Structure 1
């Protein structure tokens, strides 16, 4: 069964902050290893206590940031700019204590510039570029000198060239790793925005369809009323009333006209507030038994089987839209197979589920991939596919969702899922 649709929110800021936290952990590890290498193995004099104090501050900052993110910190432009600025300040402090601009690792400042360009808006990225440029200029003028013996070399490379090589490789690797991951977050955000725009377009489509249906229903009301009057008048004509064949046909016509009038009334009712018409307090078992029973009465006694597997029978608020949702799914199932439709009502945790299974050919993979989009139908007629489209969007507005798939032995399965708190009657 599909999980509930994710709430429409933009977590890209939080995701990007997590990337910065991960980058900071790597930076702390690399800086600690470099300090130990230079101080302990190469024996170069460094103010190691001050440098470890800066690393300790970064560790505390990262722990606090991780806790804040887990507790639901809202991450926006200011938070990301502040995090990048703190990283620049910490790196500037370490470079100040180890040679300033003469330290080959000074080019690590470029990482903050690139991350700012990717994560921040234009003016915030300009601020980050200005901050790092100012830090570089300051390090060129003021820094703790780093004395390197002239005879220190590693193979064919002297120590400064080796440091520059390591710095270049680190910058390239970190930029490749984190810019790629951050771009993936941004692409995910763009996909969410596109989905939200699609949902807005679908809801606008529903509104326009509702207006058209409402107008058509009003237009049909008058001729249907006229037909009803004419048929009733014909029923009082002796020649027609005394003919058994004609009398039976008039009766069938009367039933058909009343059915049409009922459909028109339902269209007018559904075109209004989706939860505001014909509200009734009932139980889940009673409502769905009545809805499926009325549908069975129109399609034949063997058209539907209904199984109630509720562990308890909650009281719910029902209306015409809820019934119409069920009927639309049943109509689709019947049209697909023309054989008995199996309906199962059950409760799973705090969810109420109605599963409809038919014996037809099942859903095409393309239909499943585009579930809930208009005009996605395998029936081969123009304008098809609107029934399931309306069901999906009506369920979404009610706080529920639709899960569709194919059974292993053939046939389609559609499950309507409502959180109980969206339907259950609360006497308070």
Structure 2
């Protein structure tokens, strides 16, 4: 089964999700707020503003919105560059208004954070750095160069230079901090969303494979009788057509192809018919089924049970359990040197499983982060050669952890140590250890709420 590579979506992809209509609507709100602020300042507080230039700056936004409305369709989605240019236009337009209305003496200078925050949330890091740098440059210019605010009596309204300097420093720090914070948080949110989508795809694929296996198994079961009849009839024809070599060869071919169909259906339906018995299986059988795709990959997989195998529980064959265990076993096989050990144990209250390998183990600095999606490790001399061919070890373990936790499991990751080897001065690492534990009632086929009864056996009526 071929694995599908899933990578987190970049900012350029997410930027194309934004509709032009959304940006136009937000700009209309900004235009309305700017007109209201200028009108109130002029007529309510009696401030002498350069109304002509202010209305020209606001009119530029109005014209840009009208052009976007009449030229582009309503359902247009903006690309990365288009989004960046629109936000940059709004940032420069706001800077011009602040230049005309007192610069950093104007309390509305705080709005300079808006375009940068939007960029950090939806655009790439490159665009965010460009817009953040532009905002810092504009704030620095406005702190020194601007038109003063004057009252009707000619009094200039301004705050002390110490406060202007404080506003300038605060705005720069806010631009940098909010941008970095927004980029980090949105990146993790989108990575988690992408990883959950990949997990759902993996679960859906496993469910489809399970359903398909049941259909094939049922077909193999139902076609067994007609194939046996064809084989029997062709065999009889073969014996009776001794004096007709051509027809005898045809009968032999029919029998041969019937045998081939039987073998194909048997291989495709090894699990048996998709009846209620397939909904549950002994614990070790489910573990071996999960490990089966990785048995013949050049490593030795050892299966052990810590209790009497006769008393092993029968558990639910949930796709989450099978696919989750398969990912953990694949991880162990990929990074083991020669051997992998899978130990199963159970008691009245719990069922546990340990997957161990003799590889170099998990990087110690990442043990606390295992299970995070799209995690990347730093390349250094101690870990650069541990897992060749892998850019990171996040998504596969995240899928396994998420699927198993959906079934009620609790996972712990650790590295093994051999105390005897430590005393003798030998290598003490035993590789990675993954400990999976379920409450028995969650997956026990007999005690679980999801268990299904087979029904009563009834005697055939004669």
What range describes the TM-score normalised by the shorter chain of this pair? 0.3 to 0.5
If the length of structure 1 is used for normalisation, what is the TM-score?
Answer: 0.39
If the length of structure 2 is used for normalisation, what is the TM-score?
Answer: 0.36
